Amino acid sequence: MTDLLEPRAMGQDLVRRDGELKVRGTATYAYETPVEHPAYAHPVQATIARGRVTAMDTAAAEALDGVLAVLTPFDAERLASTEDAEYAVLQGPDVGFRGQLIGVVVAETSELARQAADAVVVSYDQQPHDAELSADRPDLYAPDQVNAGHETDTAEGDVAAAMAAAEVTLERTYSTAMYHNNPLEPHATTALWEPAGDGFLTLWDSTQGVHPDRAAVCQVFGLDQEQVRVVCPYVGGGFGSKGLPHANVMLAALAARALPGRPVKLALTRQQMFSLAGYRTPTIQRMQLAADHRGRLSAIAIDVVEQTSKVKEFAEQTGVPTRMMYASPSRRSTHRLAALDVPIPSWMRAPGECPGMFGPEVAMDELAEELGIDPIELRVRNEPDVDPETGKPWSSRNLVRCLREGAERFGWSGPRAHRDGDWLVGTGVASSVYPTMRQATSTANVRYEGGRYVAEIGAADLGTGAWTILPQITADALGVDVADVDVRIGDTRYPVASVAGGSSGTNTWGSALVVAAREFRTKFGADPRDGDEASGDVDQAGQDDTHSPYAFGAQFVEARVNADTGEIRVPRLLGVFGVGRVINPRTARSQLIGGMTMGLSMALHENSAWDPAVGQVANHDLAEYHITVNADVGAIEAHWIDEHDPYVNAMGSKGIGEIGIVGTAAAVVNAVHAATGVRVRHLPVTLDKLLTALP
Amino acid sequence: MDAEITLRVDGEAHRLTVDTRTSLLDALRERLGNTSPKKGCDHGQCGACTVLLDGDRTLTCLALAVAHDGAEITTADGLAPAGELHPVQQAFLDSDAFQCGYCTPGQVCSAVGVLAEFERGWPSHVTEDLTGRPEMTHDEVAERMSGNLCRCAAYVNITPAVQQAGGAR
């Protein structure tokens, strides 16, 4: 048990502290850093999916007036570490995927840099590539572990025996598409090497964590931490793609090293982001459920097939939520990968849980239909008393409350389908889940300065609200008015902080701030002097290992399908979540509705159309990679239950950045099925999948 | 090839040299250092670069600077004097109509343009009665704001913000 803070500032509906800058457009993002006399870099990308660069003719590019540098794999400096193959930019002639970085041009203007990059003539020794995922490939392999250190396979009991003996069984295959994070701010860096001494590098980089970013750059360039500063006060969205640096950051630093003393700006184009900034792997999920006639599960199993890049392995932990979501004596989960000549997949909002709650939550709806049981009731009947995977009691598990309260608010009772003129109307439900995580490393300073309290921590605000809520936490930990607290984040000059990822930012940084604030009060009492300062580490905060901490939720969807055209509309989306204590209801609601809307987008719109013949995403821009727009959304409501969890951290918070996208797509599919009778098991739900079955 | 042009930006005249290939967006951001309009796609697909060009909402990434010599441009930063906010900006703050803020200046400029279009009685794709004045309904506003993508997906807060600002005028 941790000592929960008394909420005074926490829980207040405070307007964003960075709001005025953002509505004026004066918050400075990485590319926008005002620097003296910048130069502009533009990458050269491979136009084959596999092979070797045999020559690069840079003469025409270098002949252009105003071109300052052209770097290729044949002349770029050797990096200190090439251990991470993604970061080993321009270190060799091999091409592992189409779009890989093979050069960079630096010039006086961005127009010129782009023209010069186009003027570089590249010769290749092209090899046949292999870029098509399927579940029956003979070369699928089991990775050593999957993302976040989870086991690749788990098994308990005997799924096959349970399937053979069960009154009702369900075996289905589901798939999710390839998705690209596509934050509105393209990945961008302004890089500056000081010419004097051993070199000092400043990166104004768009990142979800200045400290992890710096650590990666230091390793690649063989620098000490003291030689690198990373600054990022504002991030134009990331959704995981800026959680780890990608190759563009190393290319920007490499390009700037060619021009010491000159700041160099490099922003990926939207098109380049589709091969260089990570993406969510497509997944193929084979589900098995076994149950008795009352719906009690005797087996649940998920076998996942997905892809990774031959250049670098990333294994999405899609099977993980099935391990703990419902009670069942027999359970199995497996992950198999195809290593292909494709760009490198990475984190995208709720890796694992987001795709991994699609198959299972549609399968539960299918089982409910088969049994003639209400899908909420089916979930209630399979509610586990303890975490089935670890055997530990839950820190708090309020899935049933979320389902019940959601049903009440949404108006779930009664028939799930009706016809309204030309429109077939249906409702659907699915569960959400996300683990409550806290990272091992983060330090905060609290200082009394000019009559105000100042907290410093190298954290990040991607729009999540950290600028606003970290002062709320600090104020309560100090026992002062939130108006008397300033928090400084987004710079490696402030103490080390973990990545804004895994919905762990508030839990981690907040814990460090609470330790620092309490230390400050212990040392200096209620009447500090100017300059008094204390620091605190997250590892000094109490940690409960005896409970299983998760956030849960329930999402409800009304879908309308036009009986003639198959057009799909979602006029209502409603979620109820158990996410611990909400620090700021305004920013929390925005995160939850944002996640739910991105889930709606996944259900109906998003699909990176992969062309295996050339090895690239065919629809690699925002005109053709559709994301939900304003006119696509109707009423979207996010609610939360009053949840008191004394086991997670001093704030009682669970993290809210990701749970909103978990389960949404399944709820949409289930609603469309109720409306039309068509079960779409392969995302996205598009009208061509409905038309032939409409009345 | 370079050309010399004059742009009046947020009330201030600037004489500048641009490459004839320079977009209005890059002229603002890279030549004049006005980074209020954002680059999200550079292809007219996301709306982040929206400004008011001679009063109308315009995608600056699809406009060549050299073709707009003498233009009057208002960015989100120029909508109100320092320390004050335009009613649309205030409504965005009140409704928490943004998260990361990168699409926001474009959304704000687009909203100001939308309100002017209502004022002029311009219909949209969802206007039922093309002979009357369109009402500032949810669907009308959502339709007109759909050229501005928001990946944080603040849409359900953006639409009421625009309606609030429209009602407040």
- H/E/C letters for each residue in A8-21? CCCCCCCCCCCHHH
Dihedral sign from CA coordinates of A378, A379, A384, A388? positive
For the entire predicted model, the pTM comes to: 0.98
Q: Is A239 on the interface with B (CB under 8 A)?
A: yes
Residue A29: count other Cβ atoms within 10 Å of its Cβ. 25
Decide which of B57 and A197 is more confident: B57
| pLDDT over 50 (residue B168) | no
Q: Within the 68-97 window of chain A, which residues sit less than 8 Å (CB to CB) from chain B?
A: none
Residue of higher predicted confidence among A695 and A232: A232
Query: A270 vs chain B: nearest CA distance in angstroms?
Result: 5
Instruction: Pull the structure tokens for residue A179.
Output: 């998705």
Predicted confidence at residue A543, as pLDDT, reads 87
- In this structure, what are the phi and psi dihedrals at residue A413, rounded to the nearest 5 degrees? -65, 155
DSSP 3-state of A112:
helix
Between A695 and A619, residue with greater pLDDT: A619
The pLDDT-based confidence of B169 (bands split at 50, 70, 90) is very low
Rg (CA), chain A: 26
Q: What is the mean pLDDT of residues B131-153?
A: 96
Split at pLDDT 50, 70, 90, the class of A1 is low
Judged by CB atoms closer than 8 Å, whether chains meet at B104 and A464 is answered as no
Q: How far is CA A191 from CA A201, A245, B34, B159, in A?
A: 7, 14, 20, 38
Dihedral sign, Cα of residue A657, residue A663, residue A667, residue A673:
positive
pLDDT in tens, A560-590: 999 999 999 999 999 999 999 999 999 999 9
Average pLDDT for chain A? 97
Average pLDDT estimate for B97-104: 98
d(CA A551, CA A545) in angstroms, rounded, equals 16
Q: In sequence order, which residues have a C-beta less than 8 Å from that of residue A485 and are 6 or more positions away?
A: A452, A453, A454, A455, A471, A474, A475, A478
pLDDT band at A196 (very low <50, low <70, confident <90, very high): confident
- Which pLDDT tens digit goes with each residue over A92-126? 999 999 999 999 999 999 999 999 999 999 999 99
Which residues of chain B have a CB within 8 Å of the CB of A107? none
Mean pLDDT of A33-54: 98
| DSSP-derived secondary structure letter, A1 | -
Task: Show the domains of chain A with their CATH numbers.
Answer: 19-28+440-540 (3.30.365.10), 33-127+182-276 (3.30.365.10), 130-180+280-345 (3.30.365.10), 392-438+543-695 (3.30.365.10)
CA dihedral A511→A513→A516→A522, nearest 10 degrees, is -90
- Residues A652/A4, Cβ–Cβ less than 8 Å: yes
Distance CA A334, CA A288 (A): 12
pLDDT of residue A2: 64
Residue B58 exposed, middle or buried by CB count within 10 Å (0-12, 13-18, 19+): buried
Nearest CA in chain B to A586: B96
Distance CA A250, CA A101 (A): 11
Q: Residue A609: which of A178, A244, A282, A195 has the closest Cα? A: A178
**Beta bridge partner(s), residue A419:** A424
Coil vs helix vs strand at B105? helix
Smallest Cβ distance to B43: which of A270, A462, A595? A270
The span from the CA of A659 to the CA of A554, in Å, is 10
Contact check, Cβ <8 Å, B158/A235: no
Reported as a pLDDT band with limits 50, 70 and 90, residue A234 is very high
pLDDT digits (tens, 9 = 90+) for A372-389: 999 999 999 999 999 999
C-alpha span between A32 and A203 (Å, rounded): 12
Residues of B in contact with A595 (CB under 8 A): 153
Strand ranges of the sheet holding A417-420, from the earlier edge strand across to the other edge:
A417-420, A423-435, A550-562, A568-578, A635-640
Q: Which residues of A are known catalytic residues?
A: 658
Angle between helix B155-168 and B87-95 (nearest 10): 140
Q: Are strands A443-449 and A168-176 parallel, antiparallel or unpaired?
A: unpaired
Q: Do A29 and B157 touch (CB under 8 A)?
A: no
CA-nearest of A347, A296, A319 to A502 is: A347
Instruction: Compute the distance between CA of residue A171 and CA of residue B50 in angstroms, rounded to an integer.
Output: 50
Complete DSSP assignment for A318-371: TTTGGGTSS--SEEEEEEEEEEESSPPP---SSTTHHHHTTHHHHHHHHHHHHH
Copy the structure tokens of residue A6.
Answer: 């008394």
> What interhelical angle do A466-478 and A505-524 show, nearest 10?
30
Q: What is the DSSP letter of A146?
A: B
Q: How many CB pairs lie under 8 A apart between chains A and B?
A: 187
On chain B, the residues whose CB falls within 8 A of the CB of A40 are 30
Residues of A in contact with B37 (CB under 8 A): 25
Domains recognised in chain B with CATH numbers: 2-78 (3.10.20.30), 87-168 (1.10.150.120)
pLDDT bracket for residue A195 (50, 70, 90): confident
* End-to-end CA, chain B: 45
Helices (H), A566-634: 585-604
Sheet with strand A485-488: strands edge to edge: A485-488, A452-456, A443-449, A533-537
| Ordered DSSP codes for A191-214 | EEEESSTT-EEEEEE--S-HHHHH
Q: What is the pLDDT of residue A693?
A: 86
Report how far residue A680's alpha carbon sits from residue A559's, in angstroms, rounded to the nearest whole number.
Answer: 13
Count of alpha carbons within 13 Å of A206, Cβ hemisphere only? 33
- What number of CA atoms fall less than 13 Å from residue A315's CA on the CB side? 25
Residues A12-42: tens digit of each pLDDT: 999 999 999 999 999 999 999 999 999 999 9
E-strand stretches of A19-100: 39-45, 51-57, 67-71, 94-95
- Please name which of A40, A625, A184, A587 lies closest in space to residue B50, comparing C-alpha atoms: A184
Q: Enter the ipTM.
A: 0.98
Count how many residues are written for chain B.
169
Give chain A's length: 695
Q: CA-nearest residue of chain B to A265?
A: B30
Widest distance between CA atoms in chain B: 49
Closest CB from B19, B102, B159 relative to A630: B159
d(CA B76, CA B9): 11
Helix axes B155-168, A585-604, angle to 10 degrees: 120
Q: Kindly state the average pLDDT of the residues A317-339.
A: 98
Pick from A407, A465, A471, A405: which is nearest to A592 by CA?
Answer: A465
Cβ-in-10-Å burial (0-12, 13-18, 19+) of A414 comes to exposed
Q: Which residues of B touch A116 (CB under 8 A)?
A: none
Nearest to A26 among B36, B98, B154 (CB): B36
Residue A130, SS3 per DSSP:
coil
Candidate from B36, B92, B99 with C-beta closest to A464: B99
Residues A510-559 have pLDDT tens digits of 999 999 999 999 999 999 999 999 999 999 998 899 999 999 999 999 99
CB atoms within 10 A of CB A381: 17
Q: What percent of chain A has pLDDT over 70?
A: 99
Please indicate whether, in this complex, the C-beta atoms of A593 and B98 are within 8 angstroms of each other. Answer: no
Buried b (16+ CB within 10 A) or exposed e, A428-452: bbbbbbbbbbbbeebbbbbbbeeee
Pairwise CA distance, residues B41 & B34, whole Å: 18
CB contacts, 8 Å: A597 with chain B:
153, 155-156
Give me the residues of A, 96-135, that contact B with CB < 8 A: 109-112
